[in-house]
C-alpha cells in the first residue's frame, strides 16, 4: 500500500521532538519515517543498539519514544528483540497480552555491519517477526567518527585519516544489503528518506507487515561526520541516489526489484564535493582516486541492474 | 507426595525447568551445560512445556535475548558454562542493572586458557561482581531445589535480581543420583504466576528500559541495585523456609556440618563439600573436633553470619576452586578473611585446589585438616596461601 505524503502527514509521530540528535541529522528523519508506517491501532516495541540515536533519545529520566523501548548493548539489538518477540508469542498465546505488537530494531552501521552482525544474522536466520533498520551513516559517529566497514573508500575518519601517505579509508564499503539478501528472508530493502518519502514509507510498511524478518538499510547522513552544512541534508540524500552511490532497491521473497532509476545518472563528484570528509580527493594529485570511485560505482550499479533485470525478464 | 527418580545433575536442572514451565528459554550449547537446553528442547518438541525456546547463535545473544524476553514481561531461564558465561559477561551486568529476574544454571567449568572442559569455579567466580545472586549446590538434589527457589527469590519485589544456580560440571552435571522431585503442581503453586509490574508489552503503560544514565542518576541506580542484593539475604531465608514446608529439605545461607564444638573447619563450595563431610566424620571418629561450612549463598556474601558461625573456631581453611591471580589468595578466601577481620581468632589459611578438573580425594582434604591441627598446635600459620593436589 502506498502512503502519500499527505496521508503520512496526518499520522501520529511515534518519535517525539525534543530528542537531542544534531540539527541536520538523518537518524531522526529515518526513525520518524519508519515508525509512521505502524498502523495507529498497533503497539510496538522498539530496540536500539548503543549509538547516537539511543543516547540522544533516551537520556534518563527522559525518553523520546512513545512506544515501549529497550536499549541493551551495542551489538545485540537484534538478539534482544528476538527475546522480546519470543516473549510476545508465548504471552499472547497465554492471553496475557491482547494487543498486536510490532518489533523494530534500530542500529547504526557500527552496531549493524560490524559488532552487531552476528546477532543480526542469527535473529534473521531464526525467522523472528521483526524489522531491523540500519541507519547507515557510514562511521562510528557516536564515539567521534571512526571508520566502520560501511565507511566509503577514501573517506577521512579519525581512524582512517587522510594523511601524507594514505588518502583516507583504504577499502570499499561492505555491501550489507546484499549480505542480508543472502539470508533469504522475506524482505530486504535499501532505501532513503528521499523525495516525498514514498520509497521509505512503502518499504517500511512492507517490512513491518510482512510475516517474518525484514531488513531495511537506510541511507542516513551525519552532519558531524560528513562535514556538511546542516540544511544540505536532503540535497545530499538526493545526490546519493541520483549518483547511484545509494541505489533504491528491494529483494522481496527472493525477487530483486529496482525502485528508482535516475533520469540522469550524476557523477559521484557531485555527491562527494558537498562533504568535508572527501575534501582531500579534490586536490589535483588525487584525480585518479575520483576516477577509481566512479568506476567502482558504475560496476556496482550495472551488477545491480543485471540482478534486477534478470528477474524482470 | 515426592517422587524418587534417578537423574543426572543436568537432568535434574532440566526437570526443574520443565516443572517451572518458563515462558522463554534462550540458550546456546556449551559443555558441560549442553544437556540442559538439549533435554529442555525435547520437552518443547513434545509439548510437555509451552515455553518459547530460542536456539540462539551465541551465549552473548542467549543473555541478550533473555534480557529482551524478561524485559518484555516473561519468566525467563537459561543455562551455560565457562566461556559461555564469559561471553555473556557484558550482558550479565545489564540484566542485573535492569533488575530482571532471569534464572540461569551455571554448570561450573574452567575458563580458557588453556582450554579445559572440566570443573572448577573460575567461571562463576569471575562473574561474582556482576550483580547476580549466586547459589551453589553440593549435589543433584540441591541443584534441583536451588533452581526452584531461585525463581521465587529473583522475582520477589524487594529483590528483582537475576540468580545463577551453580553446580560442578561433570562431577554433578553428568553423575546420576537418586533424588526426590516434587509434584509439578506443588512446584507451580510454590513459584506462583509471574506478574511483573513494569514491562515492555504492558499496553496500558509503555516503558523505556536501558537508558543512557549519566552522573546525576547512575550512582543512585547502582545504590538501589546494592539494596536489592542486601534485601536478598532475608528473602533467600524466607523462601528456604517456605520450601522446607513443601519438600522437608532445609536450606540456609550456608550449611554447618558438625560445627557445634569444632576447633578447625573447612569452608568450601559445591560438590567438594560431600567429600569433605566424609573426612570430617573420619576425623570425628578419632575424637578430633573437625567441622565444615558449605557455603550456599556467595552473593550476597553472608559476612556477619559466617563471622558468628566461626567465632569459636581456632583454625579455618578456605578452599578455592578458582585462582584470582592476586598473589594474595583465591576469591572466597579474600571474602572470608575480610568477614573475619578484627577478630583475634580463628587463624585462616587458603588452599587453591582442583583447577581444571584435578581430582580432589579424601586424602587431599585430610591433608588440609592435618595442617589445620598442626597450626592449632603450633599457634602460627607459616603459609597462608597454598596449592593442594599440585604435582610439585
Contacts of B169 by beta carbon, 8 Å cutoff, 6+ apart: B31, B32, B33, B81, B82, B107, B108, B109, B117, B118, B119, B357
Q: In chain B, what residues touch A67 (CB-CB under 8 Å)?
A: 206
Model confidence pLDDT, tens digit, residues A191-221: 999 999 999 999 999 999 999 999 999 999 9
- The strand order across the sheet containing B385-388 reads B254-257, B290-295, B264-269, B315-320, B347-353, B385-388
Rounded distance between C-alpha atoms, residue A234 and residue A93, angstroms: 44
DSSP secondary structure code for residue A15 in this structure: B
Contact B69 A86 (CB under 8 A): yes
H helix intervals, chain B: 9-20, 35-46, 59-72, 82-97, 122-126, 140-155, 184-191, 218-247, 272-285, 303-309, 331-340, 362-378
State whether A82 and B56 contact (CB < 8 Å).
yes
B72 contacts in chain A (CB < 8 Å)? 45, 83-84, 87-88, 91
**pLDDT given for residue B328 in this prediction:** 93
Contacts of A82 in chain B (CB under 8 A): 26, 54, 56, 61, 64-65, 68
B240-256 pLDDT, tens digit per residue, is 999 999 999 999 999 99
| Residues from chain B contacting residue A86 (CB–CB below 8 Å) | 24, 26, 52, 54, 65, 68-69, 74
Q: Are the C-beta atoms of A215 and A203 separated by less than 8 Å?
A: no
Query: Rounded mean pLDDT of A11-16?
Result: 92
Answer yes or no: do B26 and A73 touch at CB < 8 A: no
Distance CA A242, CA A136 (A): 18
pLDDT tens-digit profile of A46-65? Answer: 999 999 999 999 999 999 99
- pLDDT at residue number A9: 82
Interval B356-371: pLDDT, tens: 999 999 999 999 999 9
- The answer to whether the CB atoms of B61 and A119 lie below 8 A apart is yes
Q: Mean pLDDT for chain B? A: 97
Residues 2-31 of A with CB under 8 A from B: none
Q: How confident is the model at residue A6 (pLDDT cuts 50, 70, 90)?
A: confident
Q: How far is B16 from chain A (nearest CA, A)?
A: 20
A253-271 pLDDT per residue, tens: 999 999 999 999 999 999 9
As a whole number, mean pLDDT of residues B25-54 equals 98
Say if A143 is an interface residue toward chain B (CB within 8 Å). Answer: no
Query: Residues near A61 by Cβ (< 8 Å), separated by ≥ 6?
Result: B211, B217
For residue range B215-228, list pLDDT tens digits in order. 999 999 999 999 99
Q: Which residue is closest to A121 within chain B, CA to CA?
A: B57
- For the residues of B181-232, what is the DSSP string, one character each? E--HHHHHHHH-----SS-TT-TTS--EES-B--TTTHHHHHHHHHHHHHHH
Residue of B52, B60, B66 with shortest CB distance to A90:
B52
Q: How far is A100 from chain B (nearest CA, A)?
A: 10
CA-CA distances (angstroms) from residue A257 to A204, A304, B274? 16, 9, 67
**Closest CB from A83, A101, A121 relative to B54:** A83
Dihedral pair phi/psi, residue B58, rounded to 5°: -170, 165
- In chain A, the residue whose alpha carbon lies closest to the alpha carbon of B98 is A72
The whole-number pLDDT of residue A310 equals 63
Identify the pLDDT of residue A5: 79
pLDDT in the model for residue A55? 97
The confidence score (pLDDT) of residue B344 equals: 81
What is the percent of chain A where pLDDT is above 70?
98
Give pLDDT, residue A136. 98
User: Which of B208, B209, B216, B217 is the best residue to mutate to test the A interface, defined by the most A CB atoms within 10 Å of its own CB?
Assistant: B208
Whether A76 sits inside 8 A of B91 (CB atoms) is yes
Tell me the whole-structure pTM to 2 decimals. 0.97
**Does residue B121 have a pLDDT over 60?**
yes
Q: Which of A54, A90, A122 sits opposite B212 (nearest CB)?
A: A54
| pLDDT score of B392 | 78
Q: Is B91 near chain A, with CB under 8 Å?
A: yes
**Residue A311 pLDDT more than 60?**
no
How confident is the model at residue B190, as a pLDDT?
98
Write out chain A residues lying below 8 Å of B207, CB-based: 68-69
Amino acid at each position: 500500500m502506498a502512503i502519500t505524503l499527505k496521508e503520512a502527514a496526518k499520522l501520529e509521530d511515534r518519535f517525539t521532538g525534543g530528542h537531542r540528535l544534531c540539527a541536520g541529522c538523518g537518524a531522526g528523519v529515518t526513525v520518524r519515517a519508519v515508525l509512521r508506517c505502524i498502523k495507529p491501532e498497533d503497539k510496538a516495541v522498539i530496540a536500539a543498539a548503543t549509538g547516537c540515536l539511543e543516547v540522544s533519545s533516551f537520556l534518563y529520566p527522559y525518553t523520546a519514544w512513545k512506544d515501549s523501548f529497550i536499549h541493551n548493548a551495542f551489538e545485540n539489538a537484534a538478539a534482544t528483540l528476538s527475546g522480546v518477540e519470543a516473549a510476545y508469542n508465548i504471552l499472547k498465546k497465554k492471553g496475557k497480552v491482547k494487543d498486536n505488537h510490532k518489533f523494530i530494531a534500530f542500529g547504526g552501521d557500527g552496531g549493524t555491519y560490524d559488532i552487531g552482525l552476528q546477532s543480526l544474522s542469527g535473529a534473521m536466520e531464526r525467522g523472528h517477526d521483526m524489522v531491523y533498520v540500519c541507519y547507515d551513516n557510514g562511521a562510528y559517529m557516536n564515539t567521534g567518527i571512526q571508520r566502520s566497514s560501511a565507511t566509503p573508500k577514501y573517506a577521512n575518519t579519525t581512524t582512517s585519516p587522510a594523511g601524507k601517505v594514505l588518502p583516507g579509508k583504504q577499502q570499499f564499503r561492505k555491501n550489507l544489503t546484499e549480505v542480508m539478501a543472502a539470508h533469504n528472508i522475506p524482505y530486504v530493502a535499501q532505501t532513503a528518506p528521499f523525495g516525498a518519502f514514498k520509497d521509505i514509507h512503502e518499504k517500511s510498511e512492507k517490512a513491518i507487515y510482512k510475516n517474518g524478518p525484514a531488513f531495511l538499510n537506510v541511507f542516513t547522513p551525519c552532519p558531524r561526520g560528513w562535514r556538511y552544512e546542516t540544511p544540505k541534508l536532503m540535497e545530499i540524500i538526493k545526490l546519493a541516489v541520483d549518483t547511484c552511490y545509494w541505489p533504491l532497491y528491494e529483494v522481496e521473497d527472493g525477487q530483486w526489484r529496482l525502485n528508482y532509476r535516475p533520469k540522469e545518472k550524476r557523477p559521484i563528484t557531485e555527491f562527494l564535493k558537498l562533504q568535508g570528509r572527501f575534501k582531500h580527493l579534490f586536490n589535483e594529485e588525487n584525480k585518479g582516486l575520483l576516477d577509481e570511485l566512479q568506476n567502482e560505482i558504475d560496476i556496482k550499479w550495472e551488477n545491480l541492474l543485471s540482478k534486477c533485470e534478470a528477474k524482470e525478464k | 507426595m515426592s517422587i524418587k527418580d534417578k537423574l543426572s545433575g543436568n537432568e535434574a536442572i532440566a526437570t526443574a525447568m520443565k516443572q517451572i514451565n518458563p515462558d522463554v528459554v534462550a540458550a546456546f550449547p556449551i559443555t558441560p551445560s549442553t544437556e540442559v537446553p538439549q533435554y529442555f528442547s525435547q520437552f518443547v518438541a513434545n509439548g510437555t512445556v509451552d515455553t518459547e525456546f530460542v536456539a540462539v547463535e551465541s551465549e552473548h545473544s542467549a543473555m541478550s535475548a533473555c534480557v529482551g524476553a524478561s524485559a518484555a514481561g516473561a519468566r525467563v531461564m537459561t543455562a551455560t558454562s565457562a566461556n559461555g558465561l564469559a561471553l555473556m559477561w557484558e550482558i550479565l551486568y545489564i540484566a542485573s542493572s535492569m533488575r530482571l529476574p532471569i534464572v540461569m544454571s551455571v554448570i561450573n567449568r574452567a575458563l580458557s586458557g588453556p582450554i579445559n572442559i572440566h570443573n572448577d569455579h573460575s567461571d562463576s567466580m569471575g562473574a561474582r561482581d556482576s550483580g547476580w545472586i549466586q547459589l551453589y549446590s553440593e549435589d543433584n538434589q540441591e541443584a534441583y531445589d536451588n533452581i526452584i527457589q531461585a525463581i521465587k527469590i529473583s522475582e520477589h519485589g524487594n529483590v528483582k535480581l537475576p540468580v545463577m544456580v551453580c553446580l560442578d560440571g561433570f562431577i554433578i552435571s553428568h553423575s546420576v543420583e537418586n533424588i526426590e522431585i516434587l509434584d509439578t503442581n506443588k512446584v507451580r503453586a510454590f513459584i506462583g504466576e509471574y506478574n511483573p509490574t513494569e514491562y515492555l508489552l504492558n499496553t496500558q503503560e509503555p516503558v523505556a528500559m536501558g537508558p543512557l544514565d549519566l552522573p546525576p542518576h547512575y550512582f543512585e541506580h547502582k545504590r538501589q541495585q546494592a539494596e536489592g542484593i542486601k534485601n536478598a539475604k532475608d528473602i533467600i531465608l524466607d523462601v528456604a523456609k517456605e520450601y522446607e514446608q513443601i519438600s522437608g529439605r532445609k536450606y540456609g545461607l550456608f550449611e554447618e556440618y558438625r560445627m557445634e564444638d569444632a576447633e578447625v573447619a573447612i569452608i568450601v563450595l559445591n560438590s567438594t563439600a560431600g567429600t569433605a563431610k566424609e573426612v570430617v566424620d573420619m576425623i570425628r571418629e578419632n575424637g578430633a573436633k573437625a567441622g565444615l561450612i558449605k557455603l550456599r549463598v556467595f552473593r550476597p556474601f553472608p559476612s556477619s553470619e559466617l563471622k558468628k558461625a566461626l567465632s569459636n573456631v581456632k583454625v579455618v581453611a578456605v578452599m578455592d576452586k578458582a585462582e584470582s591471580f592476586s598473589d594474595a589468595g583465591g576469591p572466597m578466601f579474600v571474602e572470608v578473611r575480610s568477614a573475619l577481620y578484627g577478630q583475634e581468632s580463628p587463624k585462616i589459611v587458603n588452599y587453591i585446589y582442583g583447577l581444571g578438573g584435578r581430582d580432589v580425594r579424601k586424602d587431599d582434604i585430610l591433608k588440609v585438616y592435618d595442617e589445620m591441627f598442626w597450626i592449632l598446635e603450633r599457634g602460627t600459620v607459616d603459609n597462608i596461601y597454598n596449592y593442594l593436589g599440585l604435582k610439585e
